[in-house]
A and B are shown apart, each in its own frame.
Chain A
Amino acid sequence: MSELLVVRDLETQFKVRAGRLHAVNGVSFSLKQGEMLGVVGESGCGKSVTMMSLIRLLPPSASITNGSVMLEGLDLIKANKQQINAVRGSKIGMIFQDPMTSLNPFVKIGIQLSEGLIYHKRMGKREAYDRCAQYLDLVGISNSRHRLEEYPHQLSGGMRQRVMIAMALVCEPKIVIADEPTTALDVTIQAQIVELVKELREKLNASIIWITHDLSLLAGMADRIMVMYAGCIVEEACLRDLYKDPRHPYTIGLLDSIPRIKNDENLRLKSIPGQPPNLMQKPSSCPFASRCAFKTERCERENPSLAFAPGEIEGSSHKIACWVDTRGRQ
């Protein structure tokens, strides 16, 4: 498994009325072929902005101020408009959060699905439609030929999300970014979509980046998880390590705040006190310091960078951005 995508020191800022909002502050990570990477964090921590920065799908007020995104020898940050357009869809596919509004209501499903094929693969319409029908079958939509001729409003929410998934996959991208694809769906459909993505990942050997704020959702499927806070990665570990041995105080807090069904002691649900920091200034101290139970004097002076967790041997993948060794102190 070689590195497919390498992101270095990515920084994205938004121009707002009061100045600059530092949404992403030096994010570095890499993605291997066929790997499923989960990205978790609370609302506004920069997960979506980070991933949208990869293919430069940002609103006009946002700009990428630093960093590089290397995909097959091409730096996507420096790529020109044609180059980035050629990457979108064909090498990196996106699945969006809200299937109800992510399909053009005026255009039949088939046209929207085949758009990428016609543009990237220079397919004829008939050929593209054949391929689209195959993919609709693949994502579990029956009567696919017929569905291609329908408008989005004729499909249910779950079916629309399946169409969105088919749309992201139809050009066979190496990387699929799923931005909270199950948030807008109810729980039973959620489970179906999760199963579908797991299945498709094995069939198509694509790498998947799954953005969510639901840690329990990732438990069943991710290989590796990145926890983000205030535009930084605060912990990165393989699935088992993250759940069994969380090291960053924020991750510990997140895991503690998941409600358990077997809560015999009838305890109150734990939560992390305080509010996430204001990102109008680039954090100069640890952004989590004000909410952290393990805070030391150093935490308020310097912002820790992502490094191997204490006690981990070189080559292990468990990294945290914390000055404190939290082992045995929970």
Chain B
Amino acid sequence: MATERKKNAVGEEMQYSLFKDAMHRLAANKLALAGMIVVFLVILIAIIGPLITPYDFLSQDLDYRNKPPSAQHWFGTDDLGRDVFSRVIYGARTAVIVAFSVTILSYLIGIVLGSLAGYLGGKVDAFVVWLIDVFMSIPSLLLVIVINVSIKPVLVNWMDARFLETQNQFYRNTTWVDFAIVFGSLALIKWPKAARIIRGQILSIKNKNYVLAARAIGVPTSKIIKRYIIPNSIGPFIVSISSTLGESMVLESSFSFLGVGVKPPIPSWGNMISDGLRVWQVYPHILAAPALVLAIVTISFSFLGDGLNDALNPRQWK
């Protein structure tokens, strides 16, 4: 592996690429590669979900309830005769939508506040750090429950009122309120971590000797940001994005499990686990399918995160 990279380096093209080197490193790490494949598979399944599900996730077959896995129903059926395999795939959809939305939302907030704090320093920095501390001190479960019981009814009532007023079907479906509340509350939990990482990266790299050395040979600021600050902060940044994706999936599942996340009948691995838990001694497959999938996906994200961390950090290259 190492010799191969050197061969490339001495060869004709002297193109510099952090990512090419990082991909080589990542490919050499079997666990990380497996993690990456699972993660991409989950995302792919989430996107093409409706094309591969054998049944609709809502269609019930009351003559065929609680059946164990078979050729027709790969993961069996649940207490309403719904196909568990289809529901797990739709659950992946929910998980991926939630994970990406939450990660994007929380990093948008985190990047803006974190880089403002890191660059400007002084009072802005003190305020942002205070805000981060305040948000991190609130227990996340409590925050989600409070948002669910205080904001959600207001929104749902408003939607109903709008529907009666306009007869517009859009206001009738409160699924979007569910999702918006989940995105919003999880982003509120996750942004302080993102802001902290970005602030820390900017603060530490801004004062590094190699930035000073680059300034001393007259490298312009735009190039310093492009070639020094971004590559040096991108490693922890990508790793934390990857772990935030995994963590948001788990958080969404745990809140759905507790009944404050995505509401049935929209399938989420969390509420499926919650359903399965009541009958696991009799029909273990209803619990096992979503729980195993959730476990595998979570582990894959953390392997991928670890692998990325090693791959993007040349100081660990041997």
Residues of A within 8 A of B (CB): 55, 57, 85-90, 93-94, 96, 98, 101-108, 110-112, 115-116, 119-120, 125, 129, 145-146, 148-151, 153, 164, 167-168, 171
Contacts and interface: CB of A to CB of B under 8 A. Distances in A.
B314 A153 contact: yes
Contact of B220 (A93, A106, A119, A148): A119
Contacts of B231: 104, 106-107
Given A111-B16, A129-B14, A149-B10, A104 B216 contact: no
Interface stretch (B94-102, B160-168, B194-202, B207-215): B207-215
Given A102-B209, A103-B213, A105-B315, A87 B14 contact: no
A110 B220 CA distance: 18
Interface of B (DSSP majority class): helix
Interface of B: 6, 9-10, 14, 16, 18, 208-210, 212-220, 223, 227-228, 231-232, 314-315, 317
A119 B317 CA distance: 30
B224 to A, nearest CB: 10
A149 B213 CA distance: 20
A167 B227 contact: no
Contacts of B6: 149
B215 A88 contact: yes
Nearest to B5: A149
Contact of A164 (B14, B213, B219): B213
A151 B317 contact: yes
A94 B216 contact: yes
Contacts, number: 95
B219 A106 contact: no
Contacts of B208: 101
Given A104-B227, A119-B217, A119-B218, 5 more contacts: A88-B217, A101-B209, A105-B210, A115-B217, A149-B6
A171 B217 contact: yes
Contacts of B16: 107-108, 111
Contacts of A125: 14
A35 B52 CA distance: 78
Contact of A104 (B14, B215, B218, B228): B228
Contacts of B212: 57, 96, 102
A48 to B, nearest CB: 11
B232 A105 contact: yes
A151 B314 contact: yes
A104 B220 contact: no
30 contacts: A57-B212, A87-B218, A88-B215, A88-B216, A89-B216, A89-B219, A96-B212, A96-B216, A98-B209, A101-B208, A102-B212, A103-B213, A104-B210, A104-B228, A104-B231, A104-B232, A105-B210, A107-B228, A108-B16, A110-B14, A111-B227, A112-B214, A115-B219, A145-B10, A149-B6, A149-B10, A149-B14, A150-B9, A153-B315, A171-B217
Nearest to A173: B217
Nearest to A145: B10
A150 B213 CA distance: 18
